[in-house]
Amino acid sequence: MGHEDAVYLAKLAEQAERYEAFEVRICRINSLSPEMVENMKIIASEDRDLTVEERNLLSVAYKNVIGARRASWRIVTSIEQKEESKGNSSQVGLIKEYRQKIEAELAKICDDILEVLDQHLIPSAKSGESKVFYHKMKGDYHRYLAEFAVGDRRKESADKSLEAYKAATEVAQTELPPTHPIRLGLALNFSVFYYEILNAPDQACHLAKQAFDDAIAELDTLSEESYKDSTLIMQLLRDNLTLWTSSEAEQAPAETAAAPAQEAEKPTETAPEEPKAE
């Protein structure tokens, strides 16, 4: 690699907020780091229904590991598209290679947690709350794969995500109240899936509005314990509905909606002018 290419990639890494060497990150993913992930994998492999605290720790561990890379991928992809439009073929080649490295990291992380879910957590889930939580998590990580996959691989990831979200919804509607934060978080992320992955804004809006309206109707039954989490997710549902309906009204091109919706997991993503999900 020449000096100019190295400088360009260093600047690209800075924009994507990736300050470590790729080899260091892959080593961490493949072996002992991040420590939180590895410790939670040990607990998850005990083949029992995790406590609420353990379940949340597992979710946060993987969310933090995947979140930074998803953000980097979006930034690099946006830069790649801009350079392509300018006809800068030499830089596009470098950016493409860099993007593919990020995608390899994303795929590794997603495959890792999906294996844990399929082999240990979902089979061991006893309560309705746990079942919804894990199927939702499975839907989320297949969705993350679908975000960058192409062709048959994208379709496969999207199909598996849809299947997992539907399984979670079936349990949620019978075992969790409309105001339950996990049920609301599922509706939020499932609606983001419809909007961003299946390009089905009508279904996304219908799902989000139904979840919001159902929760509003039973808001007086909301426990003090879950009030903060539930109302936060309801706000995110409303934010997405506002964004999506305004985009439809303006008939905005697909490119303007390329940024992710807000999702409902912790930590919450809060990119400006983006739909929201966990």
Q: Mean pLDDT per 10-residue run, the chain (278 residues)? A: 53 56 44 64 86 89 89 94 90 92 95 95 96 98 98 98 99 97 97 98 98 94 86 96 83 41 52 57
Task: Output the pLDDT for position 9.
Answer: 57
145 falls within a domain: no
The span from the CA of 134 to the CA of 123, in Å, is: 10
Q: How many domains does the chain have?
A: 1
Estimate to the nearest angstrom the gap between the alpha carbon of 216 and the chain centroid. 25
- Does the CA dihedral 76-77-80-82 come out positive or negative? negative
- Given this model, what pLDDT does residue 82 score? 93
Whether residue 137 lies inside any domain: the answer is no
Q: What pLDDT does 174 receive?
A: 97
In a domain, 242, yes or no: no
Query: What was the pLDDT predicted at 253?
Result: 35
* Per-residue pLDDT at 8: 56
> Where in the sequence is the domain holding 59, given as residue range(s)?
1-124
Q: Flag whether 158 is in a domain.
A: no
As beta bridge partners, residue 262 has 276, 277
| Cis, bond preceding 181 (omega within 30 deg of 0) | no
pLDDT digits (tens, 9 = 90+) for 201-217: 999 999 999 999 999 99
pTM of the model: 0.82
Asked if residue 160 is part of any domain, the answer here is no
